[in-house]
Amino acid sequence: MLLVIALAYVLGSLPTGLALTWLWTDQDVRTLGSRNTGATNVARVAGRRLGAVTLAGDLLKGLVPVLVAPLASTEPALGGAVAVAAFTGHCWSVFLGFRGGKGVATAAGSLLALAPGPTLVALVTWGIVVRVTRRASVAALVSAALIPLLCAALSPDATWVALLLAVGVGWRHRSNLSRLRSGTELSTDPT
């Protein structure tokens, strides 16, 4: 069981956005835009297509380990532990000196496997909020606040995981909250 959790952490640690940006543009996304390795910043500095591929990769880093976990053990809490490990790996990557992204896509992938209905509602909410505000950070924070409530109502077994991941997403967005308050938060629109 611990091996499965460790492997989920390592998979979550793979820096999708950094690797893709290096391969396609020969640039280090950590030095551009918001300096984040996530899909929003990759889209901002390297184009929407590469941002979409980064988003898919980061989402899969959460989805695949949770889907595979039941093959290793029937322990009911393993899926949740694997989800938290993949998220932790993305946010504090062993390959990036224990730095990383904000974890939104990886958390969404994990929760999509654990609680598909609530997660789809949260993803639609994310899309609406980002379209209206032009700020991925606002959409992430709104969706993170919503997902534990949705899980409590529709997928109670996943509520503890949703709550942990929501707190993690909020924590990772501390600097975004400061920029939102000061009016300096970057738009999702590529520059």
Distances from the Cα of 24 to the Cαs of 58, 62, 113, 179, 186, in angstroms?
A: 17, 24, 30, 30, 23
* Stretch among 9-18, 47-56, 140-149, 174-183 having the lowest mean pLDDT: 174-183
Please compute the mean of the pLDDT values over residues 44-63 and round it to a whole number: 95
Using 50, 70 and 90 to split pLDDT, how confident is the model at 191? very low
Are 70 and 90 contacting, i.e. CB atoms less than 8 angstroms apart? no
Inform me whether the pLDDT recorded for 53 exceeds 70.
Answer: yes
Closest CA to 72 of 8, 166, 22, 165: 8
Cβ–Cβ contacts within 10 Å for residue 189, how many?
A: 10
Cβ–Cβ contacts within 10 Å for residue 67, how many?
A: 17
Please compute the mean of the pLDDT values over residues 100-124 and round it to a whole number: 97
For the stretch 56-90, pLDDT in tens is 999 999 999 999 999 998 888 999 999 999 999 99
Measured between alpha carbons, how far is 151 from 153 in angstroms, rounded to an integer?
5
User: Which pLDDT score, from 0 to 100, does residue 83 have?
Assistant: 98
The domain locations on the chain are 2-182
